[in-house]
Structure 1
Amino acid sequence: MFPVEQTSSITHQKRSREDSNNSSASTEKSSSKKQKASNKERDSTTLKKLIKELKDDSINQELTFATQSPEDSYTYLYKEIVNAETQNDTASQNVLICYFQFGKKISERLDYYKNEKKYRDRMAQNKVDKEIKEQLPEEVNDTTRWKQTERARKIYDLFFEIGVDKIQRVKSFSALTISKLSWEKIDYIVDSFRD
């Protein structure tokens, strides 16, 4: 058995550690709440920026340059940057179009199974999932296939509702960024076009 002084010292050390741990946990919770609030603000800013971009009617306006300058001039280098960014925008838009088409095919097949074959929603979804799995290469695992189809469905639903022509307006958002939006945020964007 421990002497009384030693027991008291051990108890005091335990309490000190517990108080320290509780303080650390409290700080972590507070930090987590601040981070969540910051993420909500950033999400809101991102959504507003995407909506603004999608509503911009001045799409694909070309920059015009006076005369072609030597390769080391600022004008030439700037033009090269603009060309590269335009190509990047075009590539991003092409990815969005591909996802849109993939989502469209999924939607059409779901409608087919629901309307023509009279399957319930879940059974229709299973049939479409099976079709996709059979047609994709074997090396595409279930997780990758699920992520790709979810991206396609979100992108399709968004641009089906607001207009596929809006894809041309997207400049600073990738298909991945848009597909990471929650369904609620996609509904929010769609609703902003109804106002």
Structure 2
Amino acid sequence: MEQEGATKPAKKLGTKMLPSVRTTETMKNVGKLAFRPDSFTIRQIMQQLGLSYGTVRQINARSLAGKKRCKTKTHHLSDKQVAQRVLKVPSLLEHIKRVNSDFYVKHVLKPLFKKNIPEFYGKQAKSVALHHDSAAAHTALTTVWFLQNNNYRFIPAADWSNSPDLSPMDYSINRILRDVCGNIRPKILLV
């Protein structure tokens, strides 16, 4: 083909043969954006400088020695939301103060054991054991007496543990429930 005058197409270089994007100038620019008091996120840095996500991560990990952790997205409240919370928090705190052991037994435990547990567990309802945390209403003598007098199974405070291996409800079931029910909006709000 070469003798007849046809030329070979130019050989395409692989990405490994291209010059590195991580130049000293690029690293300085990433460092400036990352070390500001109101530092940019990785996505903001990549959009600002026209770099890929991986390049910004590599510069942060290797060149900046991982000294700067780019901030994650957080929820910011608008001024209107802040004003609403300032107005509504005192009334919420008043509602929370009402939750003493008598309120807890009457409005939470009784309906739970009479209606919810039999509905969820059916024939196995008697084998369900209640696992509390250390909230004042949960540890009050009135609550413990109610559970003991009605022969409901519960884990006493002396047997509680903060270990994720020994407290599966806090670390396992809540995650599963959140994953399963996360996108479901409640039709009735129980207060």
Normalised to the residue count of structure 1, the TM-score between the two structures is: 0.21
User: Quick one: higher RCO (CA 8 Å, sep 6+), 1 or 2?
Assistant: 1
Q: Which has the higher helix share?
A: 1
Q: Greater CA radius of gyration, 1 or 2?
A: 2
So what's the TM-score if we normalise by structure 2?
0.21
